[in-house]
Structure 1
Amino acid sequence: MLTATEKRIVERCEALMDDTLALTCDLVRGYSVLGEEHAALATMERWFERLELPATRVPLDAPGFAQHPHRAPAEWACDGRYNLVARLNAGAPGPHLVFNGHLDVVPAEPTDMWARPPWEPWVKDGWLYGRGAGDMKAGIAAMIMAVQAVKEAGVEIGFPLTLQTVIEEECTGNGTLACLHQGYSGDFVLIPEPFGSQIYAGQVGVLWFRMHIDGVPAHVLDTRAGRNAIETLVAYLPAFKALEAEINALPRQAPYDTLDSPFNLSIGKIEGGNWASSVPAHAILEGRVGFPPGMSPEEIMNRVRRCIEARHAELGDGSPAPRVEFHGFRSEGFVVDLDTPGIALLSRCHQDLLGEPPKSYLSTCTTDLRAFHVSGEINGTCYGPVAQRIHGVDECVEIDSIRHVLTTYALFIHRWAEMAKAGESES
């Protein structure tokens, strides 16, 4: 049962839905692919100011961060790039609650496959469309407006609360890690990833890799005079499928032992050659491989190396050994501790609003929850809207699910405050 105060909070959430959708649309218009996040950050800064939330820029090139043991290597510049954080009641007593959401999106190409340009949000049949609408700008809008709803309901937020809007979640996780490196930490984190109103129970490790193949260029009047790097690259693809099968055949810890094939290897990018009438001298492959919780990034890197070395030996074609590089994600997997007070509180909020306990969700990808878990030893979970076709064409998010996340988060903030007060009185 909801109290009179909680019913008032729910009413304010409904009143703020137009603003929540407006913020989502403003963020979608800022097409925030890697290195071009400035428009979305500027939008977020304006909304923080409008809502009278103190905004702080948290740089990715802070002193000492380059040496952080969990920082992923990146080939792009970090100079001048930053996250945006709003921290309330930093010195107040009580458990510190963190909301975290990423502003960056993956590229929308090929954009001609979209019904409309992906950076122009549109609504149809109860769904809001646009690149990043689901992953995860609607969730960011919901977490920000949940704070506003509690304030407008006249409820005091007296405990430490931090709102993190970060970049580089889609490629390294370094944005959130930079926040933790600079002291923007807490005791429990909620991330509105678009997996629906389920309790996120765990995630796999993720590694990015790149393989360079050298061939021998030649005129196509005699292709035998050269060695085709693209054809050589294609010969490695069965080895990567075998590596995926090998990883999934390893003994697994619960609860990943219940899934059929949770550790996926995807070849996401291939480049090669420079002229149709020349035997290509070079070819490059980039891929992503998932791996089990408990396996280190170093171990999976060694497995990728051995896979490529073994295939090179099998081919025996006299070509030079491929060069292997690792850039971007090298993120550990982990299982969430579902028996913590924060997750129990979230479950009660869900049940009181929907009349049934939440389901759990076991992920086969990675999120910024990893930074909190491995770097800060901070527990938390993901709980967000319902989205479709994330990373795909015509990505969209269900508007009713945004409303539910907004309301659940607002109720959670209020009850977290009550829990903090109870803890103070007991102490």
Structure 2
Amino acid sequence: MTTSLLSAEALDANEQRLLDVCDELMPDTLALTSDLVREYSVLGAETGVLQVMEQHLLGMGLTVERVPLPDSPPGAADDRYNLVSVINGTSNRPHLIFNGHLDVVPAEPVSMWTRSPWEPWQQDGWLYGRGAGDMKAGIAAMVTAVTAMQRAGFDIRFPLTLQTVIEEECTGHGALACLARDGRGDFALIPEPFGATLTTAQVGTLWFKVTLEGVPAHVLDTSAGSNAIEAIQAVIAPLKALEAELNAGREAPYDAVEHPFNLNIGRIEGGNWASSVPCHATLEGRIGFPPGVAAEEIMDKVRQCVDAAREGMGSGISAPEVSFHGFRSEGHQVNLDHPGVALLADCHRALTGEALPSVALTCTTDLRALNRYGISGTCYGPVAERIHGVDERVDIASIRHTLRAYALFLYRWGQAADGVA
């Protein structure tokens, strides 16, 4: 795509008609969001939401391909896969990707929710439910933007790939599988729920697991045993020191973020009986780190933390074992010179009258997979609160804005691809 993109001046008659169609389609957008939220779609249980999404894409008149996860066992593709719809795949015009994830994190404890997390409800301008913000509303907006183009009578003459994927919350294998199928693309938009902002960077992320064994004993004499649960907690202090080290001397764009590289001890498990000294324990955690730092370097530092904690664990405790699972992804910075970024800024200004704000994420998204394939992109989506928490919700007005922004982006991308200045 040329660097001479459309101006952000007032909307023309075609664009205004397109936005009017978007407004007409808002009830459909909310209905699709609710249908997706109703489907329980945590890791390993995504079949229902995939079926709903597939039927919706087919109803739009699109072809749909099921793309299995990497190294799927025979038959697994029948239950766990990603969905890809391609429009004008053979065109040599600039190729655009819309990507979103359908998987969600668990909602437990469900008892803390105001209502069932799997039965969406609306209140005071918000739509509630697990995954409503992260990120089923964004997916509904991005695919409805395509419907808006169709309904307004505007052909999509450039290649457009819609990717709706799973395993974004734990591995990124869904997006990687789609890109392994076809790694082409010039720019990508992901409607993650960080609001109408330009994502400029995201952190690297590493998941790790520490396991060790102690010595079991009856509680009548706990000194006869070695408590594995108590021992494993000794690794937390060195890991917190690593977290502090990573956050010291931060470089741009994270120098403007107070504490971007976060350690989370997410799970501790051990023992098998309240009246027995526990002889095994497992600790699982996640740590973020800066762009430009190799994942292998952080893996080595985690191992060093565990080694440093070994001395304080006392006698009878086995040498801790460290393993790495799930995320092992490096951070990156978005190419802000890409013309797609300028086009997004123009669309934002045309809709809001304001400059496009930006944010450096302290988490990771499927941008990491696109970046690995050399595809520039960014996140821009609805406003959500309490994602991964209780009573997750998404602002309905922000869903409307996301729908309009994606539709306008589609129209202007097409105009630029056609050489219309």
- TM-score tier by shorter-chain length is over 0.9
Superposition map of 1:17-28 within 5 A: 17-28=26-37
Superposition map of 1:287-366 within 5 A: 287-366=285-364
CA shift for structure 1 position 318: 4.7
CA RMSD of aligned residues (A): 1.6
Superposition map of 1:37-186 within 5 A: 37-61=46-70, 81-186=80-185
What's the secondary structure of 2:418's corresponding residue?
helix
Structure 1 letter corresponding to 2:413: W
CA shift for structure 1 position 168: 0.5
CA distance, structure 2, for counterparts of residue 309 and residue 78 of structure 1: 41
CA distance, structure 1, for counterparts of residue 11 and residue 26 of structure 2: 20
CA distance, structure 2, for counterparts of residue 171 and residue 98 of structure 1: 22
CA distance, structure 2, for counterparts of residue 234 and residue 310 of structure 1: 12
CA shift for structure 1 position 317: 3.5
TM-score if structure 1 supplies the norm length? 0.93
Identity of aligned residues (%): 62
What's the secondary structure of 2:419's corresponding residue?
helix
* 2:225/2:316 contact within 8 Å kept: no
CA distance, structure 1, for counterparts of residue 87 and residue 77 of structure 2: 27
- C-alpha deviations, 1:308-341, integer Å up to 9, x for none? 0011134454522111110000011011111211
Q: Which deviates more from structure 2 when the two are superposed, residues 97-106 or residues 179-188?
A: 179-188
CA shift for structure 1 position 80: 5.1
Are 1:399 and 2:399 matched, yes or no? Answer: no
Q: Which of residues 363, 369, 372 is equivalent to 1:371?
A: 369
CA shift for structure 1 position 263: 0.5
* 2:214/2:316 contact within 8 Å kept: no
- C-alpha deviations, 1:146-204, integer Å up to 9, x for none? 00001110111000000000000000011101111111531100000000000001000
* 1:179/1:185 contact within 8 Å kept: no
Post-superposition, which runs of at least 4 consecutive aligned residues in structure 1 deviate over 4 A? Answer: 77-80
Q: Which residue of 2 aligns with 1:420?
A: 417
Are 1:381 and 2:378 matched, yes or no? Answer: yes
Structure 1 letter corresponding to 2:12: T
Structure 1 letter corresponding to 2:34: C
Q: Which deviates more from structure 2 when the two are superposed, residues 255-264 or residues 324-333?
A: 255-264
CA distance, structure 1, for counterparts of residue 77 and residue 229 of structure 2: 33
Residues 1:79 and 1:220: Cα distance change in structure 2 (over 3 Å): farther
Q: Which residue of 2 aligns with 1:284?
A: 282
**Structure 2 gaps, min length 5:** 1-9
Are 1:16 and 2:14 matched, yes or no? Answer: no
* 1:9/1:149 contact within 8 Å kept: yes
Superposition map of 1:184-195 within 5 A: 184-195=183-194
Residues 1:78 and 1:57: Cα distance change in structure 2 (over 3 Å): closer
What's the secondary structure of 1:115's corresponding residue?
coil
Q: Which deviates more from structure 2 when the two are superposed, residues 205-214 or residues 77-86?
A: 77-86
Q: Which residue of 2 aligns with 1:411?
A: 408
CA distance, structure 1, for counterparts of residue 77 and residue 317 of structure 2: 37
**Structure 1 gaps, min length 5:** 66-76
Q: Which residue of 2 aligns with 1:70?
A: none
CA distance, structure 2, for counterparts of residue 159 and residue 177 of structure 1: 23
Q: Which residue of 2 aligns with 1:69?
A: none
Are 1:214 and 2:213 matched, yes or no? Answer: yes
CA distance, structure 1, for counterparts of residue 183 and residue 82 of structure 2: 11
